[in-house]
């Protein structure tokens, strides 16, 4: 790698201009901090091919996802304001319709087991009138609120222009050969973070995912459909179909197996025929405990990491980028569930860099 000329006045150096790096840099700028971003544009980014969904419920019983009451109000305000700042359209609040997969699932939601606060994020229907010609289920389903998707390709392109205009983005390789004692270097490298010699002790668990862009003619669909697969309306008869999960062959190459799996998922979920327009793959920077990896190195205190957002990056990144900035700038506490200090014992068990 080539050494990069770093702006000596920049207090923070952000490595990577994906979802994590871009939002972290943005919040640092909002606090009046001098920032330098280093990105390798020719290296593929999972953020640019991710579906960008955000969804406040999880699991078969559709319980609130971790920290939903904090994350979702924060992200809804953040992305709406960010669109204005970047002068771009990428935030798409949209209900998600989840058909009941079988009668047992329907019975559960007809029972008294539904959480008291369920109406905060979902509504129930026990027939399928509105999608009877589209979805392969006549049992009804759950429609979730405070959900939708972010067009990450558009957002990251807008961020790139924003950072270039400010003169703080360098599109080059980075090498940490020099000492940056008066600066903090924060690595936001996605799943490649597992190969960073300073942070390879952390329990990354990257997951390859594939999606299809498809065309479905003559249907009116204004909600995301999600049951075993998701179908996201993009407009003009275009939709995004996803996703697969593979812990092998962690690369950005679409596979025939992935395509066939998605076609099978689609046919199980949807009635209309579709045509494939594009096929993409990425690698989610997931972790063993499904929590982000945030904090400073155990010994080298001017090196940090903001990573491990997994498939929930759109919902996790704004809230925890702001929390990390408060930690870096104002010495506020990081939440213990995301602080890499929770893996101190793993660090002590490996050779130090």
DSSP per residue, 151-193 = -HHHHHHHHHHHHHHHT-EEES---TTS--TTSEEEE--GGGG
Which residues contact residue 329 at a Cβ distance below 8 angstroms, ignoring those fewer than 6 apart? 28, 31, 33
Using one digit for the tens of pLDDT, what is the confidence trace for 12-42? 999 999 999 999 999 999 999 999 999 987 7
> How many other C-beta atoms lie within 10 A of the C-beta of residue 299?
10
Q: Tell me the CA distances in angstroms from 76 to 163, 299, 307, 312, 319, one per residue in order.
A: 23, 36, 21, 14, 11
Domains 12-50+153-203+289-348 and 207-284 share a fold: no
CATH topology classification for 207-284: D-Amino Acid Oxidase; Chain A, domain 2 (3.30.9)
Cα angle for residues 236, 237, 238 (degrees, 5° grid): 90
Long-range CB contacts for residues 341-350, cutoff 8 Å, separation at least 24: 341/295, 341/298, 343/201, 343/202, 343/203, 344/298, 346/201, 346/202, 346/203, 347/201, 347/298, 349/201, 350/200, 350/201
Cα angle for residues 271, 276, 279 (degrees, 5° grid): 125
- Residues β-bridged to residue 98: 142
Cα angle for residues 253, 283, 202 (degrees, 5° grid): 140
pLDDT at 60: 81
Burial label for 42, CB within 10 Å (0-12, 13-18, 19+), is exposed
Domain coordinates of the chain in residue numbers?
12-50+153-203+289-348, 207-284
Class of domain 12-50+153-203+289-348: alpha beta
Cα–Cα distance, 128 to 130 (Å, whole number) = 6
The pair of three-digit structure tokens given for residue 351, joined into one six-digit string: 């050779």
Low-confidence ranges of the chain (pLDDT < 70): 1-8, 176-180, 350-353
pTM, entire model: 0.94
Helix runs in the chain, H state only: 19-30, 46-49, 68-86, 103-110, 152-166, 256-269, 313-330, 344-348
3 φ, ψ to 5°? -70, 145
pLDDT at 62: 84
Which residues contact residue 338 at a Cβ distance below 8 angstroms, ignoring those fewer than 6 apart? 291, 292, 293, 294, 295, 320, 323
């Amino acid at each position: 790698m080539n050494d990069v000329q770093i702006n000596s006045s920049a207090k923070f150096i952000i490595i990577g201009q994906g979802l994590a790096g871009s939002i972290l840099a943005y919040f640092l700028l909002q606090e009046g901090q001098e920032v330098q971003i280093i990105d390798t544009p020719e290296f593929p980014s999972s953020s640019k091919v991710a579906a960008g969904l955000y969804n406040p419920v999880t699991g078969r019983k559709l319980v609130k996802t971790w920290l939903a009451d904090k994350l979702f109000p924060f992200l809804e305000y953040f992305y709406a304001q960010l669109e204005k700042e970047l002068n771009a359209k990428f935030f798409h609040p949209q209900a998600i319709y989840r058909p009941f997969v079988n009668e047992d699932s329907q019975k559960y939601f007809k029972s008294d087991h539904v959480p008291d606060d369920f109406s905060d994020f979902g509504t129930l229907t026990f027939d399928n009138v509105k999608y009877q010609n589209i979805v392969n289920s006549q049992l009804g389903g759950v429609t979730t609120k405070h959900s939708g998707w972010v067009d990450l390709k558009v957002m990251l392109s807008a961020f790139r222009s924003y950072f270039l205009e400010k003169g703080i983005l360098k599109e080059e390789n980075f090498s940490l050969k020099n000492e940056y004692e008066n600066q903090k270097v924060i690595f936001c490298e996605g799943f490649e973070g597992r190969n960073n010699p300073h942070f390879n002790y952390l329990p990354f668990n990257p997951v390859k995912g594939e999606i299809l862009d498809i065309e479905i003619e003559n249907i009116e669909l204004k909600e995301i459909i999600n049951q075993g697969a998701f179908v996201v309306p993009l407009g003009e008869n275009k939709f995004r179909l996803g996703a697969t999960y593979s812990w092998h062959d962690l690369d950005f190459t679409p596979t025939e197996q992935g395509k066939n799996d998605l076609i099978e998922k689609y046919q199980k979920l949807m009635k209309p025929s579709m045509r494939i327009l594009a096929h993409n793959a990425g690698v989610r920077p997931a972790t063993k405990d499904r929590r982000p990896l945030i904090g400073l190195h155990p010994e080298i205190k001017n090196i940090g990491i903001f990573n491990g957002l997994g498939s929930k990056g759109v919902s996790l990144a704004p809230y925890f980028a702001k929390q990390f900035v408060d930690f870096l700038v104002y010495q506020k506490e990081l939440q213990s569930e995301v602080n890499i200090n929770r893996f101190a014992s793993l660090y002590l068990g490996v050779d130090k860099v």
